[in-house]
Amino acid sequence: MGKSKVLVVGGTGYIGRRIVRASLAEGHETYVLQRAELALQIEKLQMLLSFKRQGAHLIEASFSDHQSLVDAVKKVDVVISAISGVHIRSHSIGLQLNLINAIKEAGNVKRFLPSEFGLDPARMGDALEPGRVTFEDKMAVRKAIEEANIPFTYISANLFAGYFAGSLSQMGSFVPPREKVHLFGDGTLKAVFVDEDDVATYTIKTIDDPRTLNKTLYLRPPDNILSQADLIAIWESLIGKQLHKTYISPEGFLATLKGLDYKLQVGIGHFYHIFYEGCLTNFEIGPHGEEASMLYPEVNYTRMDHYLRIYV
């Protein structure tokens, strides 16, 4: 069988652009949705044109035009959505319900990957308010997918390195500190840090793989299962000095959280579950999931000691 034709929705976004590149690199005939509103966003338009020069096809369609979505979906075998789910930028998860309706009507899609790429929302039913809205919205999308009997793969990519590793998981900056650092609790609970290009590579690997059909793929590269303290120790080794450490209690963190703007509360509230509860690593992957590095050992994923060197 030949490689699937792929449509990427949200292809100019943070993860979407990487998925487009990974799809092209793996030799898939790749289509990128071009929404009308991008015509006045020059950087995104130029990115779309750069994809076209690399061999991608651009398809004009809109979430407000059902037939345009149906026509776009009919051209491909696989649809990958990477539209934004981050409240501090543009939370658009609900728009995927329009896309699901189009996929259902088109009837030809053999795999749909909705926009998740973070914590597994199925495990976050007890998440703090207001941050739980992220998981509730994603679960509403999952419900619509499964009720429509659309074949799927969900991607749980854990922590993007650009957001959580480069910053040593500090709030308020995406570059590592050189003098002092805050740790959540005692800093020893394990999390999982994944280079964003590796997220895209693993995502594209799944689309023609029967082992990931109707399952969740967890990205847990074993060398990147690290605590915050582990990550800080890597950075200290790279810069040759010890950072001054301040430890934030759970109570202190929650008190700080309450004073923030709503959008910040939504995103930063997730830190509590990651670093105080260890929600990324405190469970075994069951029969409804697979682990990416075990399925695809050929992927030479980026280790965090290498990742952090660029910041030195």
Contacts of 151 (CB under 8 A, 6+ apart): 109, 110, 111, 112, 213, 214
Is 138 part of the annotated catalytic residue set? yes
- Ranges assigned E (strand) in the chain: 6-9, 30-34, 57-60, 78-81, 85-86, 90-91, 111-113, 153-156, 159-160, 180-184, 190-194, 215-218, 225-227, 244-248, 289-291
Q: How far apart are CA 168 and CA 127, in angstroms?
A: 23
Q: Which residue is catalytic, options 104, 138, 205, 215? A: 138
Cβ neighbours, 10 Å, residue 174: 12
Structure tokens at 190: 């394990």
Active-site residues: which are they? 138
